[in-house]
A and B are shown apart, each in its own frame.
Chain A
Amino acid sequence: EVRLLESGGQVVQPWDSPRLSCAASGFTFTNFLMNWVRLTPGKGLEWVSGISASGTTTYYSDSVKGRFTMSRDNSKSTVSLQMTDLRAEDTAVYYCARGLDNNKWGIFDYWGQGALVTVSS
């Protein structure tokens, strides 16, 4: 059974640098690209970032580019999202989502339950 478990959600201040993690199990992690997608009350679902199976290629939405960094550790089957320079509009539930395979970017076939990040000064 495919399982994705996010951790690291918390209430943070704009100058904090929280790190979200996602532990994957139930599939061959190194065969799949991974993504972060967030859900906000105002904007709905928003793709945040994606990373290739090898970890050599990453993509970001313009809204987080330069502030968030996605990485993966294939030895531990985990992906992470390092967040900096936070804004109120970054308040969201952050989902870890698996790609359908390592070739089809932009299809999210399994999702975790989400981690809530609240940005408040």
Chain B
Amino acid sequence: EIVLTQSPATLSLSPGEGATLSCRASQSVATYLAWYQQKPGQAPRLLIYDASNRPAGVPPRFRGSGSATDFTLTITTVAPEDFAVYYCQHRHSRPYTFGPGTKLEI
């Protein structure tokens, strides 16, 4: 099973600042990595898939990059509605696993 670790566990920022979230895989997952956002009481929301692809409707301030074992989610300018928990997840092989999450707080 591929283990994903995320850093930092908590990121404290103010609206308008930039955010950099990291995800590291225990072995290469090529570019088969996704990022999700989850707010309290809500379902997760897909932000990025296959490392750098944004689904329709996701704002361009969310950018994904990386390959193999090291990946980054960048929020170029954090908006008030972006404060949430962010998870990475791979689909390189089953079981598909998630990271423990990074909490982006004000």
Q: Is A47 an interface residue (CB 8 A)?
A: yes
Q: Is the CB of A113 within 8 A of B49?
A: no
Q: Give A106 to B97 CA distance when docked, in angstroms.
A: 9
Interface residues of B in 71-106 (CB under 8 A from A): 87, 89-91, 94-101
Among B43, B94, B96, B100, the residue within 8 A (CB) of A111 is B43
Q: Give A106 to B96 CA distance when docked, in angstroms.
A: 6
Q: Is A11 an interface residue (CB 8 A)?
A: no
Binding site for B on A (CB under 8 A): 37, 44-47, 59, 61-62, 95, 100, 104-114
Nearest-neighbor residue (CB-CB) of B55 within chain A? A109
Q: Is B18 an interface residue (CB 8 A)?
A: no
- Majority SS of interface residues in chain B? loop
Among B36, B49, B100, the residue within 8 A (CB) of A100 is B49
Nearest-neighbor residue (CB-CB) of B46 within chain A? A109
Q: Is the CB of B91 within 8 A of A107?
A: yes
Enumerate chain B residues within 8 angstroms of A46, measured Cβ to Cβ.
97-98
Nearest-neighbor residue (CB-CB) of B101 within chain A? A44
Q: Is B15 an interface residue (CB 8 A)?
A: no
Enumerate chain B residues within 8 angstroms of A45, measured Cβ to Cβ.
36, 44, 87, 89, 98
Nearest-neighbor residue (CB-CB) of A107 within chain B? B49
Q: Is the CB of A95 within 8 A of B34?
A: no
Enumerate chain A residues within 8 angstroms of B90, measured Cβ to Cβ.
106
Among B34, B49, B98, the residue within 8 A (CB) of A44 is B98
Identify 18 new A-B residue pairs, CB closer than 8 A, beyond the known A59-B94, A61-B94: A37-B44, A44-B100, A44-B101, A45-B98, A47-B98, A61-B95, A95-B44, A100-B55, A104-B49, A106-B32, A106-B91, A107-B91, A108-B34, A108-B44, A108-B46, A109-B55, A111-B43, A112-B43
